[in-house]
């Protein structure tokens, strides 16, 4: 796997400060997304990668939304198992899905 370029200095001083605050390890958001995609591709068989590349754009969007609904359902179920009410479990699932600092 190729090494990612660590960007620690951005030409714009404000953006450089934001990157330093939000990405203390030196990786930008773009680098982190690339790293995630590479890891996912390593775990997939090459034939599935080719199938995904050939899907039309609308089908890709539908599949992404299906994954989102699945994640929402799983988070809701976790909340119910923890003893939350159905309404509180749905709010917790929505909060966790929309949280920007939730990388885990």
10 with 19: CB under 8 angstroms?
A: yes
- Tell me the average pLDDT of the chain: 76
pLDDT for 86 beyond 50: yes
- Extents of the domains making up the chain: 1-54, 56-104
This model's pTM is above 0.75: no
Q: How many whole angstroms from its chain centre is CA 46?
A: 22
Average pLDDT (65-79) is: 88
pLDDT for 84 beyond 90: yes
Phi, psi (degrees; rounded to nearest 5) at 46: -55, -35
pLDDT in tens, 41-65: 777 778 877 887 888 888 888 888 8
């Amino acid at each position: 796997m190729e090494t990612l370029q660590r960007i620690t200095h951005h030409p714009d001083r404000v953006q450089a400060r934001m990157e330093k605050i939000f990405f203390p390890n030196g990786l930008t958001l773009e680098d982190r997304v690339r790293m995630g995609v590479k890891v996912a591709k390593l775990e997939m068989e090459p034939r599935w990668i080719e199938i995904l590349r050939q899907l039309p754009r609308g089908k890709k969007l539908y599949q992404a939304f299906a994954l989102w609904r699945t994640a929402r359902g799983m988070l809701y179920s976790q909340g119910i198992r923890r003893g939350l009410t159905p309404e509180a479990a749905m709010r917790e699932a929505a909060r966790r899905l929309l949280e920007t600092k939730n990388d885990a």
